[in-house]
Structure 1
Amino acid sequence: MSQCATWKSMCSASSDTATILSFQSSEYCASGVGSPEMNPPSMRMFFHFGFEDYILFEKWVPRNRGQYVGSWFALFFLTIFFQTIQTYHSNLEVQWAEELAQANEVAKSDSSMSLTNGQPKVHAGSILLHWIHLWRQPWSLNEVKQNVLRAVLTFMETTLGYALMLVTMTFNVPLFFAVIAGLTVGSVLFSRQRSITVLKPNGNNSSAGTGCAGCG
């Protein structure tokens, strides 16, 4: 870059010899302007250690050990929060599927129809046509509430997921494992909640809500 010579001369202009030696030997003298506290970190596309890396935002750059440790725990708990949203969304989908199955059973017994809203049984060859027919049907108030909540949770889940992916792409080893550790701990914390399965509404299931493997 054409600015490199200018920056190098600026680095050498200090009257303090000790400062010159320490500053020139740092990555900041080669890549930035001014003091190390004001210079941007270099982008290293390989696994590495060190404090100075961008974490999602321009201002989120750890400059010392304390900030780095705080950032590590922030990413760790952010990953667990991501797992919380993901598990909650999954459980809601299970609950809604159970409610739909129960409604279908009621419609089937009352009017010999297999689908809600009184729609006839769909054969495999007419699935796409049935989709089009369903899209043309007006949403019920309950469906509107479900889809609003589904959209919000999907937005949050996707945003957090890609943000955590970008953190791992800093190639900073401890930050990378902050995300991995959060995913690992979250998988244990929510192991029972993720074991919830859809229970077919019949006389054998006394609780149509949740069922989890290993819950007593």
Structure 2
Amino acid sequence: MDHHHHHHEEMDNFSPNSLANGEIKTMTGDAHSCHMKMAFYFGTEATVLFDWWKFNTTTGLIYSMVGIFLLATLYEGLKYFREYLFWKSYNAIQYRSVQIPLEKESSNPVSQMVGTVLFKQPLPTMLSSFHFLQTFLHVIQITVSYLLMLIFMTYNVWLCLAVLLGATLGYFLFGWKKSVVVDVTEHCH
């Protein structure tokens, strides 16, 4: 019955006026209220991801934008790095070349030539160190991806621009090196 009473208190705090202002107000406890914007806005105050990451000044906004910009840039770099490791490993797994001398040392330069022998490498297993590394990097990538998505969902236009511009710079710096058309490491953000 207490849970039912608490639900009515939350509904009492919900009003059409809060939606008209582009925010939802909820009560969590007796005196703590939380305002969440539900429309894009230009502002110099926001809470970003955590209670301790709040700002209400232009300086705080700028510092947050720089941090978010760098995070989005590094996210794009991480996507490229994972793909680079994959293709480097894939090429190394297919064939490993070993150079062996064709003949013992001789005064004839032609007989000192070196031959190349290709050995087929075994494919990595699920418990290989490469797969563990890729799994660890995947967890970091998906975590950063969702954090960037949640930052965008603050609806603060300045923070959204920081995400977009950081991702743009990251793609500019790292995207031209991509070796495939399909991005196999993409996650939503």
- When normalised by structure 1's length, the TM-score is 0.55
- Provide, for residues 12-41 of structure 1, a one-character-per-residue CA deviation record: whole Å limited to 9, x for no partner: xxxxxxxxxxxxxxxxxx999xxxxxx876
Q: Counterparts of 2:95 and 2:125 in 1: how far apart (Å)?
A: 18
Q: Which has the higher helix share?
A: 1
Deviates more, 1:173-182 or 1:49-58: 49-58
In 2, distance between residues paired with 1:106 and 1:171?
Answer: 55
Query: Aligned AA for 1:60?
Result: W
Alpha-carbon offset, residue 158 of structure 1? 0.5
Question: Which residue does the alignment assign to 1:175?
Answer: 159
Give the aligned CA root-mean-square deviation in angstroms: 3.1
Q: 1:78 aligns with which of 46, 71, 76?
A: 71
Q: Which among 98, 104, 110 is matched to residue 91 of structure 2?
A: 98
CA contact (8 A) 2:65 2:158 kept: yes
**Structure 2 SS opposite 1:75:** helix
Deviation at 1:62, TM superposition (A): 0.9
Q: How do 1:109-128 and structure 2 match up within 5 A?
A: 116=122
Identical columns (%) = 25
1:162 matched to 2:146? The reply is yes
What SS class does the counterpart of residue 191 from structure 1 fall into?
A: helix
Separation of aligned partners in 1, 2:39 and 2:26? 18
Amino acid at match of 1:160: V
Aligned 8 A contact 1:56 1:167 in 2? yes
The number of residues matched between the two structures is: 136
1:27 aligns with: none
User: How many angstroms apart in 1 are the aligned matches of 2:146 and 2:26?
Assistant: 28
- 2:130 aligned partner: 146
Distance, in Å, in 2 between the alignment partners of 1:68 and 1:51 is: 6
Moved over 4 A (4+): none
Instruction: Give the alignment partner of residue 65 of structure 1, picking from 55, 58, 66.
Output: 58
Q: Give the alignment's TM-score, normalised by structure 2.
A: 0.62
| Separation in structure 1 between the aligned mates of residue 53 and residue 86 of structure 2, nearest angstrom | 35
Check the 8 A contact 2:80/2:175 in 1, yes or no. no
Structure 1 unmatched ranges of 5 or more: 4-29, 33-38, 108-114, 118-137, 198-216
